[in-house]
Structure 1
Amino acid sequence: MILTTFEELGYVREALAAGAEGYLLKAIHPKDLAAGIRLVHHGGTLITQEIAKQLITQWIQPFNPEKEEKTAKNNFGLTDREMEVLSELSNGLTNREIARKFFLTEGTVKNYISTIYSKLDVTGRHKAVFKAKEQGIINP
């Protein structure tokens, strides 16, 4: 069972392909985590409903030119969630405000921001927002 802060579908697929029977986000309520562990222990498989929806949508979704354009525009490999967090950074939201908006922990938001910095090759919020606007990733 994988317990992580990363919601990227690539990580999910890799984990499941490597034999993981569960993939849960650290923001999970402790009671739900305990129930999930019991389920997997008894032979079940567990992923969040949100991740399942994303996997199914990606699997059955026909070619969508708008999505292709969005992917082409995002040459830095940012996930949808990282794009959402980046957008909120550009709106001036704090980590706490972003966490509340997306029902995440502040630690998870910090991890997303750290990954965004790494992918954009920048060292701070203002530089990340500036580069994202400059590159056309987010609207000015």
Structure 2
Amino acid sequence: MSDSSKRSLIALIADLPGQISALVKAEIEQAKVKAIHLGKNAGMGAVFVAVALIFVFFAVGTLVAVIILALALVMPAWLAALIVFVLFILLAAVFGYIALRYFKRLSEEQGPIEGLQKDFRAVKGVGEYERK
């Protein structure tokens, strides 16, 4: 038999805190390495997404120019550009109005402090609350 197999149960139990400590340290180190790895990959992914979005930005501008040039085949170029401009302004107004409605909903919702105050009033039996 080897020396480690002859060790007593008490000696093994005495070694347990040190082994647990080493295991926790190893797990923390592994988590750090994984976080660094994830951070590097996420950073590189974000860079490539930003580059792709720059190209999409220019592609959309080119598409707008194509639309204006296509309309210019059947009407004066200034009128085609004006129509596309007005279309974009109308779309911006519609989306802005929709966004405004969503932002107004934020102020209508009850905050956590108001909810707690309402709950305290309900417990005291004062104020408006639903009875079930």
TM-score interval, smaller chain? under 0.3
TM-score (norm 1): 0.22
Quick check: which one's helix share is greater? 2
Quick check: which one's strand share is greater? 1
Structure number with greater CO (CA < 8 Å, separation at least 6) is 1
TM-score (norm 2): 0.23
Q: Which structure's CA Rg is the greater one?
A: 2
